[in-house]
Structure 1
Amino acid sequence: MAKASGMSKAAVSLILNNKEGARLSAEAKERVREVAKGLGYRPNAAAQSLRSGKTRTLGFISDQVTVTRFASEMITGILRAAEARDHTVLIAETFGKPDQIAEAITQMTDRDVDGLILGFMDSRQRDLKIPHTGLPTVLVNGIDDSPCTAVLPNERESGARAVQRVVESGARTVAVIGELANAEKDPRTYPSISRRFSSLRGALAETKLEVLGHWVLDDWNPTDGYEATTQLLAEGHSPDAIICANDRVAMGVFQALAEQGLTPGNDLSVLSFDDEIIARYLRPQLSSIRLPYEEMGSLAVELLLDGNLKPGEHQIDMPLIERDSMMAH
């Protein structure tokens, strides 16, 4: 390679190992890298690890993210950000069993990863009892009882954004379907959900909208949304807009409306949260405020690799994805 590039062996070594040389020009570096690429050269990762004390490998431990469609974009964000920084990611799945997290952390430590990302499908307050490994660690979509660096969706603004969009649609009356019973009983355990609905209630109080009811559900499934909407309509309410807790609830809302001959986007507005893939397959397509899983995963990688690990929350904005279920003003 030295002969092919017209450079000394020492200079080639400096360039390929990303070490600075006082007399190495940008043109020389580019020439050596082009020759290396043409020859199919790949650096010896093990040797580089021994020299630097880094494996350029991150560990991602999931509590169900890898086995459900709901938060899989988190993995996309992590993998893309790691690749952009020339890092590899090892993935472990705990299948929602909290007692397996400590074991997974130990296994990742044994494999000499440079840092850990713990990713959760549901944004909850947790007591992880993370083993002390000295490894830099970031939590995604969850927070721990102990001080930690966490990446979360900005739910404090999402509820207010939903109300603003409903007002812009020209609605005068609104129903809110899907406040979660467990979150109402224990807001601290469900920080994101509690922030979402606290923001929503606060924003509604500042408008002239008539609120026809806050419908509290035991779960966020289509059946729950269907039953709540059926009861809402049976009681004689005719809201100009319905705000749903998430897209699965909205699916049930759509079904109940259809049985009464009502079409979202024509007869009333329906707005939701999360922007799961089903939002695009409903007819009409559902407007939804997106959970930014991919961006949260990407930021976690950046925080790890940049050493920005002060305890606290890093919040990612939740964009409103406009589709057809909202009335035009």
Structure 2
Amino acid sequence: MNDVARSAGVSQTTASFVLSGRTDMRISEASRARVQEAARALGYRPNVTARSLRTRTTQTIGLVSDAVTTTPFAGEAIRGALEAAAVHDHLLFITETAGAEAAESTLVNALLDRQVDAVVLASMYTRYITPPRELHGRRVVLLNCLAPGFAAPSVVPDETEAGRAAARLLTERGHRTGIWAIGGHYALPSNPEGNFAGNERMRGLQEVLREARASLDGVVECEWNAEDGYRETSRLLASGERPRALVCSTDRLSFGAYQALAEAGLSVPGDVSVVSFDDQDIASWLRPGLTTVALPHYEMGRRAVELIFADGPLGTDVHRVPMPVRERGSVGSPGP
């Protein structure tokens, strides 16, 4: 600062006011121009740490996630968060627990030690969590997770409406019978209560089917991987059932179902319609292309950071982000 002031021929106080952007002092335009030119020529950069002591803000946000590097959707959520932070001239510090709960408090404390202005606590699949006690009373937004009783807003995908959208894709084409759900609530011995996405999607799906005087012929509960979709669809066909439509809980399940249907000599959508969720890359590569309801990870990441800059307390609302439908070629009218 002294160097800039000396080069510009002004006092240090004048240089400080100009470089901090203050306009409440009477400084001539010529002096301002000299200070700014001197700062450029000398490569002056303000001491952000020192400035934060005065402003009580570091213009940084910490994001703590259970898995960033190992999930296919994380990149879009992070991109949305990064771009929203940049709009507000904030940096985003990204950390990952790799699923180790013991690491969460350590990472949170490390961010708080660096005086971040707020924390985004994220999960790469929608679930209920218990935030670390260090975050109580802090400015926090929950991304893709919920914590009842914790004073923070949550940003999650609107899974119930996604289930309704999947049902409408079928009922609007005339499907009323022969509809099976593959994956269901994902209620297994290791996961007896199912999962948030499965429960919400099934609720919305069944709601619209009832309104259309249609119903599911059955729900096959299984894990949500390609091999599960193949195995359970093969079993369903081997049992003598003749589905007209499959609602698969993930695109990976749909991939397996496609293979099982092809082996049985059934075409999509001529014989069996298939509708899915997620919109992974594989959805557009399947033939025919898979109609699916997309997870809005970019918009969720952006919305979570935008909430931080709201005036006043953040509240405890649950913000449900719409899941757009990607119509391709896997849904048709019911066959004979």
**Which TM class, normalised by the smaller chain length?**
0.7 to 0.9
Q: CA deviation at 1:17?
A: 2.6
Distance 1:127 1:145 in 2: 9
The residue aligned with 2:122 is: 119
What SS does structure 2 have at the residue aligned with 1:67?
coil
Distance 1:209 1:34 in 2: 70
Confirm or deny that 1:181 pairs with 2:181: no
CA offset digits 1:94-119 (Å, max 9, x no partner) = 01112221111111111111110111
The residue aligned with 1:306 is: 310
The residue aligned with 2:72 is: 69
Q: Which of 284, 291, 297 is equivalent to 2:288?
A: 284
Distance 1:200 1:184 in 2: 21
Distance 1:272 1:36 in 2: 60
Distance 1:170 1:328 in 2: 6
Unmatched segments (≥5 aa) in structure 1: none
* Change in CA separation of 1:260 and 1:56 when aligned onto 2, cut-off 3 Å: same
Q: Which of 200, 225, 228 is equivalent to 1:224?
A: 228
Q: Which of 175, 187, 204 is equivalent to 1:199?
A: 204
* Change in CA separation of 1:220 and 1:43 when aligned onto 2, cut-off 3 Å: same
What SS does structure 1 have at the residue aligned with 2:229?
helix
CA offset digits 1:63-84 (Å, max 9, x no partner) = 0133322333111111111111
Q: Which of 76, 81, 85 is equivalent to 1:82?
A: 85
The residue aligned with 2:297 is: 293
What is the CA RMSD across the aligned residues, in angstroms? 3.2
The residue aligned with 1:158 is: 162
Kept after mapping to 1: 8 A contact 2:66/2:98: yes
Kept after mapping to 2: 8 A contact 1:115/1:135: yes
Q: CA deviation at 1:15?
A: 5.7
* Change in CA separation of 1:56 and 1:94 when aligned onto 2, cut-off 3 Å: same
Q: CA deviation at 1:10?
A: 7.1
Q: Which of 272, 293, 309 is equivalent to 2:276?
A: 272
Distance 2:26 2:82 in 1: 36
* Change in CA separation of 1:223 and 1:43 when aligned onto 2, cut-off 3 Å: same
Please give the TM-score of this superposition, normalised by the length of structure 1: 0.86
The share of aligned pairs that are identical, in percent, is 37
Moved more, 242-251 or 166-175: 166-175
* Change in CA separation of 1:32 and 1:293 when aligned onto 2, cut-off 3 Å: farther
Distance 1:37 1:223 in 2: 62
Moved more, 35-44 or 158-167: 35-44
* Change in CA separation of 1:51 and 1:269 when aligned onto 2, cut-off 3 Å: same
Distance 2:44 2:284 in 1: 45
Please give the TM-score of this superposition, normalised by the length of structure 2: 0.84
* Change in CA separation of 1:32 and 1:222 when aligned onto 2, cut-off 3 Å: farther
Distance 1:100 1:143 in 2: 19
Confirm or deny that 1:215 pairs with 2:208: no
CA offset digits 1:225-244 (Å, max 9, x no partner) = 11111122223333332111
Moved more, 145-154 or 102-111: 145-154
Kept after mapping to 2: 8 A contact 1:12/1:32: no
Q: Which has the larger radius of gyration?
A: 2
The residue aligned with 2:259 is: 255
Confirm or deny that 1:324 pairs with 2:326: no
Distance 2:27 2:267 in 1: 68
Q: CA deviation at 1:134?
A: 3.9
- Amino acid corresponding to residue 187 of structure 2 in structure 1: A
What SS does structure 2 have at the residue aligned with 1:140?
strand
Confirm or deny that 1:100 pairs with 2:106: no
Q: CA deviation at 1:123?
A: 0.9
